[in-house]
């Protein structure tokens, strides 16, 4: 039967249906695309522009996840492979090695990970979940897969222990029983240690869940079982009886052995540590409460908080390390979570910024019966991962090479730039490295396992994150890695809020007044612009030199005056207000206009924040060029900014909100335009707005309550920070006429801005600087910019800004613009080549502004074909300019709305990418808007995703998948095919270090002389089969059984033959390994026997 490619069929149907397009005014339920004029201009366009992109170029797949694992619960370390695993409450596992080795895998059930256990140097990992299921992960592949699962049906898993170089896993349960699982087959053994056999028969109470399991370092045939109520049982596996029992009146949280196997230490719920000797189990050999107050003799020491975990690690040349978490005194309620390190008589308390989830001590040897020689401690906190160096007396921490601090302050917005200028990464790093923290350990990062190569993808990528505290972080994201380059603190341009001024201030947010809301960056000119939640815009320029200067600021009054309309006659309101009143002069905020209005007085013309008035030292990097603030108007706070655009070539920044549009010249530091949205239409307003009653002076509290149906005042809604629990509710874009707050208020917000050299009016013969303005009602306005040409005039002559009277319309709020030339090439907006504004080089100072226009200035070259692509929440349209003919329209969605849309370059061709609220990612060709991909990728479960999702060139995208993690994905088929080569290897072949020679006498008298055969004891022949109802074996997708289940169809026989060959090869390999091991053991035995014979050869019988 012939196989059809559905995507090819889709392309063919779309290409062969020129008449299937829907008009711009269509209200049909389905989606449609195609030319509005099949025989006219569109036909010429098809002949001229050959679209090279087809559906075969696109495929969606996740690439890598960056950041700190959200809500961590478990930690494990392979001391030979030197890789670290972290489990989370959502069922995720992150495996980390050397920089570049970072793997994410997820349990399908989503159950929390309770515990992780590496099969040391075997390339495998066991995970225990809160759904009482054990999973065996294969790490010998770049994408780990589950080989086996074992679901416990009648008992809950509480603790697991896998002895070194053993294939039998001990599993403790909530009922107090201990089961044993074969790791190779993942089948339960018939050998069970029942709780009622482990404790004394005279004991009347249940000992509680199993909280600890470990085999004796001295004798593998002895198992130490710790129960929650304070009972510890030393179980002889061969004789199936308890060799000794230990009782303590405080609950046990953890246990650890001394490497000689004669002593063990317990941590308890009263903050005490007890040291027990196997020879005298009646009472502890030593009891200490490290952080308890010293009491008089005969009195019990004061109880402290529980010690949740203790590790007892020995050293050959010094005192042992006793490391524990918790145990602080109750009277120190304000003390932060701490890790205590006891080494000899020295006690060091390391205070942490976040609660401790788990910690592990890294030791030189994987063998539990040798001196451990600890060298570091990995501490997993709720929101951080740190590694402490134990080899230095001051215990410094290692510098973390992973991007674990993305969430240092909550992320509020993101931007992604692929294939940016290559020198930018080096420039940003050279500036940022000067501000790095000092005092780190000089040792090499100890988690150094795995292998990673750069791969074929070499173009530079930069990710920018904006944060709630006003900071901006630039990250090098090249080759699926992430490393912070440079950090910018935007809050430094404002005065700090004094204590006690909170209620009287003009801030419009209760917390995080400096939170970053929008980012605009021009990599070529290095102009950076940011807008904040407190209705401000800051323009930054990049410089390699430090300067000290005053911060120049402007105040802009944006007011929506639709309620002031009393009569519909156009003569009552001028079509274009006098601009002279809208052009305040440049000034530094040194006057009294920023003083806070007293209570009871209507706030007017007051900004939300106070810009610093004194000269400010600005280090190399991004330096504030201009601060623009919206001000209060008649007691109403300024609305948050909804759109932002900057043109370095024109020296202009434009921004808008639900009140109107502001255009500012940041070269001359003047306001060019500050106008309500309704005024932009002049007398050509296409929407009939109902006049409202005259406005009355209102106080700040509850001032706009009548405009909101909810009992919560609108100001209080607006005051919520982007990082607050309900911050997503302030995502103000028009969703439908029934639910949009903008539509309720009859306000038309500015939702998209775009600078471009284009045709401002219909049938213009020449191009000129233009500003495209998109609104929440789907209207597009073109504003003409008259910018002086020469450098001298640009610094002295004013820029004239005039609405052109050109309007275009779409359904839904406008999201993005882009422009194409007549050949189908994507036209980039003009930009100014970067030069250092503070250069000390005289030649550089005299340079003129160098502008790159990205096209020919001849109108004949442009002709009648410049194509503007506009995408709204509902549809996309392509217009031909200057004729303003709508060539193509595609109704993208009727039942949902688009959250993010971008025109990107892929394989040297442009396409339109969209992320919809229903989770679909859609890609359309340009200019024909032919659908090439529609994948139901990710349902919108959190507005965090909507706020941070962004596309970029070369098939890349990202979003904030959790408050602490960035998920990157690709929609490129080529990158999906090459992804395996780009990912790191988790497992590398390493020989397991040899055990230390214990010596003849120590081996003879130091422990059990018999070798312990677990296979003989736990195998089916001796122990029998476990009850089928106790646990259910589930083959994983990566197992041989899973592959057998997948083998079928035409290739089934070949697949089964290959599986059989793999099984045979696996068995032969295991046989070869066992044979080699037996030969090595025989050689060692022969060598020792020969040495013993030589030693006693000439001795008489009485000399023994």
The 3-state secondary structure of 620-675 reads: CEEEEEEEEEEECECCECCCCCCEEEEECCCCEEEEECCCEEEEEECCCCEEEEEE
Going 530 to 536 to 541 to 545, the CA torsion angle's sign is: negative
Rounded (5°) CA angle 116-118-122: 155
- Note whether 110 and 150 are within 8 A (CB): no
Could you tell me which residue, 567 or 988, shows the higher pLDDT? 988
Torsion over CA of 240, 242, 243 and 248, rounded to 10 degrees?
160
Mean pLDDT of all residues in 748-761: 94
**Considering the entire predicted model, what is its pTM?**
0.82
**pLDDT at 479 (0 to 100):** 84
**CA atoms of 1037 and 20, how far apart (whole Å):** 44
- Note whether 237 and 198 are within 8 A (CB): no
Q: Which of 721, 540, 559 lies closest to 638, judged by CA?
A: 559
Going 598 to 599 to 604 to 605, the CA torsion angle's sign is: positive
**pLDDT at 8 (0 to 100):** 41
Question: Is a pLDDT exceeding 60 seen at residue 926?
Answer: yes
Question: Is a pLDDT exceeding 80 seen at residue 729?
Answer: no
- Cα-to-chain-centroid distance, residue 374: 32
Question: Is a pLDDT exceeding 50 seen at residue 1060?
Answer: yes
Residues facing 674 on adjacent strands: 662
Average pLDDT, the chain: 81
Confidence of residue 236 (pLDDT cuts 50, 70, 90): very high
Instruction: Give the rounded percent of residues in the chain with a pLDDT score beyond 70.
Output: 77
Cβ atoms within 10 Å, residue 347: 12
**pLDDT at 763 (0 to 100):** 84
Confidence of residue 509 (pLDDT cuts 50, 70, 90): low
Q: Which of 113, 106, 115 lies closest to 76, judged by CA?
A: 115
Which tokens hold the place of 397? Answer: 């921490």
**pLDDT at 21 (0 to 100):** 39
Question: Is a pLDDT exceeding 60 seen at residue 75?
Answer: yes
**CA atoms of 1063 and 251, how far apart (whole Å):** 48
Torsion over CA of 501, 506, 511 and 516, rounded to 10 degrees?
-130
Question: Is a pLDDT exceeding 70 seen at residue 195?
Answer: yes
**pLDDT at 1021 (0 to 100):** 77
Put the strands of the sheet holding 231-236 in their side by side order. 210-215, 222-227, 231-236, 241-247
pLDDT (tens digit per residue) in 39-54: 334 444 444 678 899 9
**pLDDT at 24 (0 to 100):** 38
**pLDDT at 735 (0 to 100):** 35
Question: Is a pLDDT exceeding 50 seen at residue 498?
Answer: yes
**pLDDT at 269 (0 to 100):** 94
Most confident region among 793-797, 914-918, 1080-1084 by mean pLDDT:
914-918
**pLDDT at 1047 (0 to 100):** 39
Question: Is a pLDDT exceeding 60 seen at residue 1015?
Answer: yes
Question: Is a pLDDT exceeding 80 seen at residue 205?
Answer: yes
Q: What does the radius of gyration of the chain's CA atoms come to, in whole angstroms?
A: 35
- Note whether 55 and 933 are within 8 A (CB): yes
**pLDDT at 1063 (0 to 100):** 61
**pLDDT at 440 (0 to 100):** 92
Confidence of residue 980 (pLDDT cuts 50, 70, 90): confident
**pLDDT at 1059 (0 to 100):** 55
Most confident region among 487-491, 556-560, 990-994 by mean pLDDT:
487-491
* Region of poorest pLDDT, from 480-494, 515-529, 733-747: 733-747
**pLDDT at 438 (0 to 100):** 81
**pLDDT at 995 (0 to 100):** 86
**pLDDT at 204 (0 to 100):** 76
* Region of poorest pLDDT, from 106-120, 140-154, 155-169, 725-739: 725-739
Question: Is a pLDDT exceeding 60 seen at residue 1085?
Answer: yes
**pLDDT at 459 (0 to 100):** 86
pLDDT (tens digit per residue) in 850-909: 888 876 544 444 455 789 999 999 999 999 999 999 999 999 999 999 999 999 999 999
**CA atoms of 1095 and 1000, how far apart (whole Å):** 12
Question: Is a pLDDT exceeding 80 seen at residue 738?
Answer: no
- Note whether 105 and 71 are within 8 A (CB): no
Mean pLDDT of all residues in 616-624: 95
């Amino acid at each position: 039967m012939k196989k059809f490619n559905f995507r090819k069929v889709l392309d063919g149907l779309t290409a062969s249906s020129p008449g299937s397009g829907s008009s711009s005014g269509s209200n049909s339920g389905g989606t449609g695309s195609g030319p509005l004029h099949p025989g006219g201009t569109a036909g010429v366009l098809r002949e001229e522009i050959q679209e090279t992109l087809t559906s075969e170029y696109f495929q969606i797949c996740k690439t890598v996840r960056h950041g700190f694992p959200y809500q961590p619960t478990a930690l494990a370390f392979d001391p030979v492979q030197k890789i670290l695993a972290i489990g989370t409450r959502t069922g995720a596992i992150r495996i980390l090695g050397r920089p570049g080795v970072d793997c994410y895998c997820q349990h399908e059930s989503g159950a929390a990970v309770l515990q992780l256990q590496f099969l040391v140097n075997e390339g495998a990992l066991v995970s225990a979940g809160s759904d009482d299921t054990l999973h065996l992960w294969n790490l010998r592949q770049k994408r780990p897969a589950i080989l086996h699962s074992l679901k416990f049906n009648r008992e809950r898993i509480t603790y697991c222990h896998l002895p070194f170089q053993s294939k039998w896993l001990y599993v403790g349960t909530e009922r107090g029983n201990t089961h044993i699982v074969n790791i190779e087959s993942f089948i339960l053994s018939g050998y069970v240690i029942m709780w009622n056999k482990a404790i004394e028969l005279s004991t009347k109470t249940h000992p509680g869940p199993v909280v600890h399991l470990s085999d004796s370092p001295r004798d593998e045939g002895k198992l130490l079982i710790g129960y929650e109520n304070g009972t510890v049982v030393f179980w002889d596996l061969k004789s199936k009886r308890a060799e000794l029992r230990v009782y303590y009146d405080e609950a046990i949280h953890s246990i650890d052995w001394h490497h000689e196997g004669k002593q063990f230490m317990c941590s308890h719920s009263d903050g005490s540590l007890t040291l027990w000797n196997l020879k005298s189990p009646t009472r502890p050999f030593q009891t200490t409460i490290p952080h308890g107050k010293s009491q008089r003799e005969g009195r019990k020491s004061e109880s402290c908080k529980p010690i949740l975990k203790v590790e007892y690690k020995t050293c050959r040349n010094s005192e042992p390390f006793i490391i524990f978490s918790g145990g602080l005194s109750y009277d120190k309620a304000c003390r932060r979570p701490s890790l205590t390190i006891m080494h000899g008589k020295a006690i060091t308390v390391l205070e942490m910024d976040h609660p401790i989830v788990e910690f592990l001590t890294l030791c030189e040897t994987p063998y539990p019966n040798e001196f451990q020689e600890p060298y570091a401690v990995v501490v997993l906190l709720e929101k951080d991962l740190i590694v402490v160096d134990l080899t230095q007396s001051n215990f410094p921490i290692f510098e973390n090479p992973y991007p674990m601090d993305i969430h240092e302050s909550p992320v509020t917005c993101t931007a992604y730039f692929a294939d940016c200028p290559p020198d930018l990464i080096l420039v940003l790093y050279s500036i940022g490295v000067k501000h790095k923290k000092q005092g780190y350990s000089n040792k090499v990062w100890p988690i150094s396992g795995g292998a990673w190569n750069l791969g074929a993808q070499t173009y530079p990528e930069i990710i920018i994150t904006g944060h709630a505290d006003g900071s901006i972080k630039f990250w090098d994201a090249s080759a699926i890695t992430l490393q912070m380059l440079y950090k910018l603190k935007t809050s430094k341009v404002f005065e700090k809020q004094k204590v006690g001024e909170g209620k009287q201030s003009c801030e419009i947010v209760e917390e995080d007044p400096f939170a970053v809301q929008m980012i605009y960056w021009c990599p070529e000119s290095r102009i950076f612009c940011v807008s904040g939640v407190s209705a401000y815009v800051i323009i930054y320029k990049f410089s390699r030199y430090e300067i000290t200067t005053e911060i120049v600021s402007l105040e802009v009054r944006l007011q929506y005056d639709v309620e002031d309309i009393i009569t519909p006659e156009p003569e009552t309101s001028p079509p274009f207000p006098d601009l002279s009143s809208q052009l305040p002069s440049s000034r530094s905020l040194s006057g009294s206009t920023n003083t806070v209005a007293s209570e009871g007085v209507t706030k007017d013309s007051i900004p939300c924040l106070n810009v610093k008035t004194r000269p400010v030292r600005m280090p190399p990097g991004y330096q504030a060029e201009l601060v623009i603030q919206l001000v209060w108007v008649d007691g109403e706070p300024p609305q948050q900014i909804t759109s932002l655009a900057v043109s370095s070539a024109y020296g202009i920044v434009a921004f808008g909100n639900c009140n109107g549009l502001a255009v500012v010249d940041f070269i001359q530091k003047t306001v060019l335009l500050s106008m309500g949205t309704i005024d932009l239409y002049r007398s050509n307003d296409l929407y009939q707005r109902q006049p409202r009653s005259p406005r009355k002076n209102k106080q700040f509290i509850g001032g706009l309550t009548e405009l909101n149906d909810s009992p919560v005042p609108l100001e209080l809604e607006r005051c919520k920070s982007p990082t607050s629990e309900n911050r997503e509710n302030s995502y103000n874009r028009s969703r439908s006429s029934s639910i949009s707050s903008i539509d309720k208020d009859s306000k038309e917000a500015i939702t998209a801005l775009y600078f471009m050299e284009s045709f401002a009016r219909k049938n213009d013969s020449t191009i000129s600087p233009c500003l495209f303005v998109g609104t929440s009602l789907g209207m597009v306005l073109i504003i003409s910019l008259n910018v002086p040409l020469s450098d001298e005039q640009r610094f002295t002559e004013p820029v004239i800004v005039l609405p052109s009277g050109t309007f275009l319309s779409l359904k839904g709020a406008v999201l993005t613009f882009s422009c194409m030339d007549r050949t189908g090439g994507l036209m980039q907006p003009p930009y100014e080549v970067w030069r250092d504004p503070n250069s000390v080089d005289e030649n550089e100072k005299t340079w003129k502004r160098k502008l790159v226009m990205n096209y020919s200035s001849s109108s004949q070259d442009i002709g009648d074909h410049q194509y503007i692509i506009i995408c709204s929440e509902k549809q996309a349209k392509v217009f031909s300019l200057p004729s303003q003919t709508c060539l193509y329209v595609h109704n993208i969605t009727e039942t949902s709305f688009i959250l993010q849309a971008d025109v990107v370059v892929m394989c040297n061709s442009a396409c339109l990418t969209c992320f919809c609220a229903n989770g679909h990612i859609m890609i359309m060709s340009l200019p024909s808007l032919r659908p090439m991909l529609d994948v139901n990728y990710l349902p919108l479960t959190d507005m965090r995703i909507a706020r941070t999702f962004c596309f970029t060139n070369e098939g890349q995208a990202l979003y904030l998948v959790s408050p602490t993690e960035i998920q990157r994905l690709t929609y490129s088929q080529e990158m999906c095919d090459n992804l395996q080569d780009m990912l790191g290897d988790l497992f590398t072949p390493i020989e397991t270090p040899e055990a230390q020679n214990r010596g003849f006498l120590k081996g003879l008298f130091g422990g059990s002389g018999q070798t312990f055969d677990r296979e003989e004891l736990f195998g089916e022949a001796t122990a029998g089969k476990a009850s089928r109802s106790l646990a259910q074996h589930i083959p994983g997708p990566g197992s041989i059984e899973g592959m057998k289940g997948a083998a079928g169809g035409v290739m089934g026989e070949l697949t089964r033959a290959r599986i059989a060959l793999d099984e045979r090869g696996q068995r032969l390999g295991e046989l070869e390994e066992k044979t080699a091991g037996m030969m090595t053991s025989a050689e060692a035995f022969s060598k020792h026997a020969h040495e013993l014979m030589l030693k006693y050869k000439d001795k008489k019988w009485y000399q023994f």
